[in-house]
Structure 1
Amino acid sequence: MGSTKNPAFTTDTLRESIESDTGDSLLNLYEDDAEIRVIDRDAQPSHPKVLRGRSEIREMLDDIYSRDMIHRLGQCVIDGDHAAFTESCEYANGDRVYAESMITLRDGRISEQILIQAWDD
């Protein structure tokens, strides 16, 4: 059974989760065995940073949401068991972060994510 039978993952749910004050609701969108591959200036495509399981994902989200920044969901496209979305963030000092993600859903929850991000220096 895929996400087409389980409406748990929607653009509205993703927006509310990303734009909240903590990463808790966003973490709830992930499967227990989810995997995120992060590609950025420190983790290049041939050696991405890989987070496995909700505990490692929680650590990342706790770090991100502990920072003084605003998170905004940009575009989001959901097609069956796949989705893609953009996210922009702004620190209090004006520095910005931009991210694009491609995800795979299993039973309406994120099982795999590829996250590509860039930020101001």
Structure 2
Amino acid sequence: MSESSPRISVAALKQAIEGRDAEALLRLYADDAKMVIIDRQHPPSAPLEIDGRAAIGAYWHDVCGRAMTHRIEAGLADDTHLAFTESCAYPDGTRVFCSAMLDIAGGRITRQVTLQEWDG
């Protein structure tokens, strides 16, 4: 990653997520970053694990390409962690709530653990 790439902050994350900007999100991750997602399809004993920027980019392009809204409700950060909550809604009324904890090193996300709960 170049030094000119954006550094992670609650404001940068909020802008990228709410703007459904997969490329802006991808720039916030370290090359060897890992995402762990726990939801109704991926329980704690078998979470979805996404390794590396390329795979994380594919994930964000899928999510940002969906017809839905995203709103960061709260977030806080220090030099090594960022936590946030997010509410999402699909046009059919289905809602999703997410809570995430991010590990940060060198201004980039190195690991993200997300818990998602869906309506239904």
Q: Is 2:83 aligned against 1:58?
A: no
AA matched with 1:27: L
TM-score after normalising by structure 2 = 0.90
Q: Match of 2:40, SS?
A: coil
In the alignment, the residues of structure 1 paired with residue 21 and residue 76 of structure 2 have an alpha-carbon distance, to the nearest angstrom, of 23
Residue 63 (structure 1) shift: 1.1
In the alignment, the residues of structure 1 paired with residue 114 and residue 73 of structure 2 have an alpha-carbon distance, to the nearest angstrom, of 14
AA matched with 2:23: D
In the alignment, the residues of structure 1 paired with residue 91 and residue 23 of structure 2 have an alpha-carbon distance, to the nearest angstrom, of 22
Spell out the pairing of 1:43-82 with structure 2 (5 A cutoff).
43-82=42-81
Q: Which residue of 1 aligns with 2:86?
A: 87
Residue 22 (structure 1) shift: 2.8
Q: Is the 8 A contact 2:10 2:82 kept in 1?
A: no
Structure with the larger RCO, 1 or 2 (CA within 8 Å, 6+ apart)? 1
Cα RMSD for the two superposed structures = 1.3
TM-score after normalising by structure 1 = 0.89
AA matched with 2:83: A
Q: Which residue of 1 aligns with 2:3?
A: none
User: Sequence identity, in percent?
Assistant: 39
State how many pairs are aligned: 115
Q: Match of 1:37, SS?
A: strand
Q: Which residue of 1 aligns with 2:34?
A: 35
In the alignment, the residues of structure 2 paired with residue 13 and residue 66 of structure 1 have an alpha-carbon distance, to the nearest angstrom, of 19
